[in-house]
Chains A and B, each alone.
Chain A
Amino acid sequence: MDWRPRCALDVMHERAEMLIAVRQFFQQRAVLEVETPLLCHATGTDPQLDFFSTRFNDPPDNPRLFLQTSPEFAMKRLLAAGSGCIYQICKAFRNSESGRFHNPEFTILEWYRLDFTLQDLMQEVAELFEHLVLPRRALQILPPISYQDIFQQTTGLDPLVFDLPMWQAFVRRENLHEAIEICVEDHGVWLDFIFSHVVQPKMKAGCLYRVYHYPALQSALARIHPENPRLAERFEVFVDGVELGNGFRELTDADEQAQRFDREVAWRRQHGLPEVEKDRRFLAALQAGLPECSGIAIGLDRLLMILLNKTSIDEVLTFPVTRA
């Protein structure tokens, strides 16, 4: 019976409605819908993202191509070329990711707004969620909260001050002592562990959280806060404790971007991960000049789960990877 779709047939209608509502939202705001390739010559260097790659039969080089883990680089190339505000609904691919909230192929909504601050974009996210979610179910939109505040309120620990003995004592109290072996002395892994095991599960159900100003060591492709170098201008979106999206005040400095790539490439090499090259076309676009902007990606499959109160991503996919 594995030829049959995994989701109920009405879920396909719900998805179609959601996509119509998304397109309506951006059309009203004069944001242009674009398409960029899913198969590219390079991909992100983020060591936490595993990719799919293949060979293009194009002699003599038969170059290696990568299924995109997100459309970010290509969309920023459009921005640098003068596209203006843009959005895209597309598939993204992440190898090794499979579970109740993960399918290795999933649908992303990603958009960029010129001259938007992080605050502006957080506001627009709230409006999008009002537009998409409120007609379907109750959702309380909480005011944005800083990463430091939510972390401190839930755990009593300051995420910006890596006090190892205190953090070890904390996980022992929480009966999560395995964190000590897993995270060792890596501040970033400690943050990921505590945030996903303690902070997220304690978020109130039925509420939209926008958590901003991530610690600078988790800046990804976000700009560092101009007044406080310990913070990144990055925010994340959560509903029912589930991570739905990740937004940045985009890093526009080509040199800093190249340095971040170099660090990640070196880390990959050190840890025996598959090697990747820096995306030279993306870097060239930054050199040419990425306009000041903020951008975010939202996982649409998870959003549909939230809309329909489903507990697993498979329930909103026609053919999850096990049936694809």
Chain B
Amino acid sequence: MATYSTNEFKAGLKIMLDSDPYSIVENEFVKPGKGQAFNRVKVRNLKNGRVIERTFKSGETVEGADVVEIDMQYLYNDGEFWYFMVPDTFEQYQADANAVAEAKQWLKEQDMCVVTLWNDSPLSVSPPNFVELAITETDPGLKGDTSGGGGKPATLETGAVVRVPLFVQTGEVIKVDTRSGEYVSRVKE
């Protein structure tokens, strides 16, 4: 893998630190007018999402992390692994529960996701920003209420629970923003 000098540091660069892959969030060049130059960086651990700060002596080199983000189609889950496929090559990857983490509640078969690979195995999965999912269960709610005020919980086909307006009923398909976990609208069949 390539190594990077601190003067190549920029947001998004993937590097290895303490044997974990990290992505640079922010890079600050710190240099006293008369004195040693440093690079103070904020980095995100790609395994657990935690952001830490770390300083390097300017000019130092750091090993790059073999991390790539690839668009893949979600295929299915066999109870232990979640399977994804690169549409162009039909190459398949299996991701464990750690990798899919929060994303699993939004994964619907056939949907496209971004899978982050580290040394060619899935490290994390980002669901699409918007997903369309059917409601499997919600209280009947009040007749004639179309205002959207208030709201009630609804369970979706993937198991996720979101708050929906009172007029939305079981069996309907809704659009959800996966970044906030919020209901956006009903989807006309």
Q: Which residues does A use to contact B, with CB under 8 Å?
A: 46, 48, 96-102, 176, 178-179, 182, 188-189, 191-193, 195-197, 218, 220, 236, 243, 245-246, 297, 299
Cβ contacts A to B, 21 pairs, < 8 Å:
A48-B31, A48-B36, A96-B7, A96-B58, A97-B29, A97-B31, A98-B7, A99-B29, A99-B30, A100-B29, A102-B31, A182-B55, A182-B57, A188-B35, A196-B35, A197-B30, A218-B35, A220-B34, A236-B33, A243-B32, A246-B34
* A-contact bits for B53-84, CB 8 A (1 contact / 0 none): 01111100000000000000000000000000
Contact of A197 among B7, B35, B40, B56 (CB under 8 A): B40
What is the bound-complex CA distance between A46 and B32, given in angstroms?
Answer: 13
Q: Is B38 an interface residue (CB 8 A)?
A: yes
- Given the known A-B contacts A96-B7, A97-B37, A188-B35, are A193 and B29 also in contact in the complex, defined by CB atoms under 8 Å? no
What is the bound-complex CA distance between A299 and B31, given in angstroms?
Answer: 13
- Assess the A192–B40 pair: CB atoms within 8 A: no
Residues in A neighbouring B30, C-beta threshold 8 A: 99, 196-197
Q: Report A224 CB to chain B, min CB distance, Å.
A: 15
Instruction: Name which residue of chain B comes closest to A236, CB basis.
Output: B33
Residues in B neighbouring A196, C-beta threshold 8 A: 30, 32, 35, 38
Residues in A neighbouring B27, C-beta threshold 8 A: 99
Instruction: Name which residue of chain B comes closest to A100, CB basis.
Output: B28
- Assess the A192–B32 pair: CB atoms within 8 A: yes
What is the bound-complex CA distance between A99 and B57, given in angstroms?
Answer: 15
With A96-B37, A178-B56 given, name 16 new contacts (CB 8 A): A48-B31, A48-B36, A97-B29, A98-B7, A98-B29, A99-B27, A99-B30, A99-B31, A102-B31, A192-B35, A196-B38, A197-B30, A218-B34, A243-B33, A245-B33, A246-B33
Instruction: Name which residue of chain A comes closest to B26, CB basis.
Output: A100
- Given the known A-B contacts A48-B34, A182-B55, A182-B57, are A102 and B40 also in contact in the complex, defined by CB atoms under 8 Å? no
What is the bound-complex CA distance between A191 and B32, given in angstroms?
Answer: 11
Contact of A193 among B28, B34, B36 (CB under 8 A): B36
- Assess the A195–B55 pair: CB atoms within 8 A: no
Instruction: Name which residue of chain B comes closest to A44, CB basis.
Output: B34
What is the bound-complex CA distance between A233 and B11, given in angstroms?
Answer: 40
Q: Report B87 CB to chain A, min CB distance, Å.
A: 35
What is the bound-complex CA distance between A246 and B32, given in angstroms?
Answer: 10
- Assess the A195–B32 pair: CB atoms within 8 A: yes
- Given the known A-B contacts A99-B28, A100-B29, are A192 and B58 also in contact in the complex, defined by CB atoms under 8 Å? no
- Given the known A-B contacts A96-B7, A182-B55, A182-B56, are A102 and B29 also in contact in the complex, defined by CB atoms under 8 Å? yes
Q: Report B19 CB to chain A, min CB distance, Å.
A: 15
Residues in A neighbouring B38, C-beta threshold 8 A: 182, 192-193, 196-197
Residues in A neighbouring B7, C-beta threshold 8 A: 96, 98
Residues in B neighbouring A297, C-beta threshold 8 A: 33
- Assess the B36–A101 pair: CB atoms within 8 A: no
Contact of A192 among B28, B36, B54 (CB under 8 A): B36
What is the bound-complex CA distance between A179 and B57, given in angstroms?
Answer: 9
Q: Report A263 CB to chain B, min CB distance, Å.
A: 14
Residues in A neighbouring B29, C-beta threshold 8 A: 97-102
Going nearest first, the 6 A-B pairs with the smallest beta carbon separation are A99-B29, A192-B35, A192-B36, A220-B34, A182-B57, A189-B36
* A-contact bits for B16-55, CB 8 A (1 contact / 0 none): 0000000000011111111111101000000000000011
- Given the known A-B contacts A99-B29, A100-B28, A197-B40, are A46 and B55 also in contact in the complex, defined by CB atoms under 8 Å? no
- Assess the B36–A188 pair: CB atoms within 8 A: yes
Residues in A neighbouring B40, C-beta threshold 8 A: 197
Which of B32, B34, B37, B54 has the most chain A CB within a 10 Å cutoff?
A: B34
- Given the known A-B contacts A100-B28, A197-B40, are A178 and B35 also in contact in the complex, defined by CB atoms under 8 Å? no
- Assess the B34–A46 pair: CB atoms within 8 A: yes
Q: Report B42 CB to chain A, min CB distance, Å.
A: 13
- Assess the B54–A178 pair: CB atoms within 8 A: yes
Residues in B neighbouring A218, C-beta threshold 8 A: 34-35
- Assess the A48–B55 pair: CB atoms within 8 A: no
Instruction: Name which residue of chain A comes closest to B53, CB basis.
Output: A175
Residues in A neighbouring B58, C-beta threshold 8 A: 96
Q: Which of B70-111 contact A (CB under 8 A)?
A: none
What is the bound-complex CA distance between A100 and B36, given in angstroms?
Answer: 17
Residues in A neighbouring B54, C-beta threshold 8 A: 178
Instruction: Name which residue of chain B comes closest to A244, CB basis.
Output: B33
Residues in B neighbouring A176, C-beta threshold 8 A: 55
Q: Report A196 CB to chain B, min CB distance, Å.
A: 5
Which of A48, A100, A299 has the most chain B CB within a 10 Å cutoff?
A: A48
What is the bound-complex CA distance between A48 and B33, given in angstroms?
Answer: 9
Residues in B neighbouring A179, C-beta threshold 8 A: 55
